[in-house]
Amino acid sequence: SNGDPTKEPACFSSVIPGWFSEMSPMWPGEAHSLKVEKVLFQGKSDYQDVIVFKSATYGKVLVLDGVIQLTERDECAYQEMITHLPLCSIPNPKKVLVIGGGDGGVLREVARHASVEHIDMCEIDKMVVDVSKQFFPDVAIGYEDPRVNLVIGDGVAFLKNAAEGSYDAVIVDSSDPIGPAKELFEKPFFQSVARALRPGGVVCTQAESLWLHMDIIEDIVSNCREIFKGSVNYAWTSVPTYPSGVIGFMLCSTEGPDVDFKNPVNSIDESSSKSNGPLKFYNAEIHSAAFCLPSFAKKVIESK
């Protein structure tokens, strides 16, 4: 149900009236703002506050617990990179697991890969799925692919019960580690990801911002170096509506056939993915470039 539209949540009024401002202890002292044209949905699920609004310049925006998850204008930069960085790094991915990603955008991108036979997806919050189908049809189109098996539940529990060695790739499209996604950043979760992957299988997880979260990134990198005996890499992309304008990914492979993430082996067959629209962001050059790190980050990440 739509909440009371006359009651303004703090994020709509506390910085500039009529604008949405994103504030969090995860980016203290700064608040990115978007001009609001119309609030389209306000609800409270069992897990989080859910808001959809129409912005003046970025199209519709999905907000969970006060934090922007996607905007129509720049979602391509995130969805395409979190998906094609792992899936273009291995030949013929067949079985893929998506954790989180309730908007369906990662599904839309996985579906471009003709080799994929089965996609499991575990999202904790059904309201995110429903709201996305209602307000973001070009993103939620991913749910229409017949290879998708959607499970509503906690990704941590899902992975604990997953069959050993069963996936070619796992994509963790999570929100920030404050709230329901907390455990998706912790060591036991990465251990169960490694267990669920086949030898030489790959994982790509949302891994926050180089400008804001080097401490979180350091922890993720050192956990991953212990757990994943193949390769361990950090990559990043530019997403203007994420805090600091960039977001990173942790890409790892399990012991087995070598995975050289920096040199994609697999291209996307555009003809098999026409119904999902053209790629807007990803290409082979930007794939390799995504692994080039600024010196301050390179030093820290390579020393772990």
Catalytic residue numbers?
A: 173
Verify binding: residue 282, ligand SAM, rule CB under 6 A.
Answer: no
Q: Which x/- pattern, by CB under 6 A, does the window 72-101 give for ligand SAM?
A: ---x--xx-------------------xxx
Judged by CB, which is closer to ligand SAM: 79, or 253? 79
43 contacts 62 by C-beta, under 8 angstroms: no
Verify binding: residue 162, ligand SAM, rule CB under 6 A.
Answer: no
Query: From the CB of 79, what's the least distance to ligand SAM, in Å?
Result: 5
Query: From the CB of 106, what's the least distance to ligand SAM, in Å?
Result: 6
Tokens representing 282 are: 């990803």
Judged by CB, which is closer to ligand SAM: 85, or 124? 124
123-140 per-residue burial string, b: 16 or more CB within 10 A, e: under 16: bbbebbbbbbbebbeebb
Sheet containing strand 95-100, edge to edge, reads 148-152, 118-123, 95-100, 167-173, 197-206, 246-253, 232-238
Instruction: Give CA–CA dist 121/124, Å, rounded.
Output: 10
Judged by CB, which is closer to ligand SAM: 65, or 168? 65
Tokens representing 121 are: 């997806």
93 contacts 118 by C-beta, under 8 angstroms: no
Candidate ranges 28-36, 89-97, 171-179, 221-229; the one touching ligand SAM (CB under 6 A): 171-179
The binder of ligand SAM chosen from 22, 109, 120, 125 (CB under 6 A): 125
The binder of ligand SAM chosen from 36, 87, 128, 217 (CB under 6 A): 128
CA-closest candidate to residue 108, choices 134, 78, 141, 75: 141
Judged by CB, which is closer to ligand SAM: 183, or 218? 183
Judged by CB, which is closer to ligand SAM: 123, or 208? 123
Verify binding: residue 8, ligand SAM, rule CB under 6 A.
Answer: no
Query: From the CB of 270, what's the least distance to ligand SAM, in Å?
Result: 21
Verify binding: residue 230, ligand SAM, rule CB under 6 A.
Answer: no
Residue nearest to ligand SAM (CB): 100
Query: From the CB of 70, what's the least distance to ligand SAM, in Å?
Result: 4
110 contacts 83 by C-beta, under 8 angstroms: yes
Name every residue whose Cβ is closer than 8 Å to that of residue 300 and which is 6 or more positions away in sequence: 214, 217, 218
Sheet containing strand 67-71, edge to edge, reads 19-22, 32-44, 49-55, 60-64, 67-71
The residues binding ligand SAM (CB under 6 A) are 64, 69-70, 75, 78-79, 99-103, 105, 122-125, 128, 154-156, 173-175, 180-181, 184
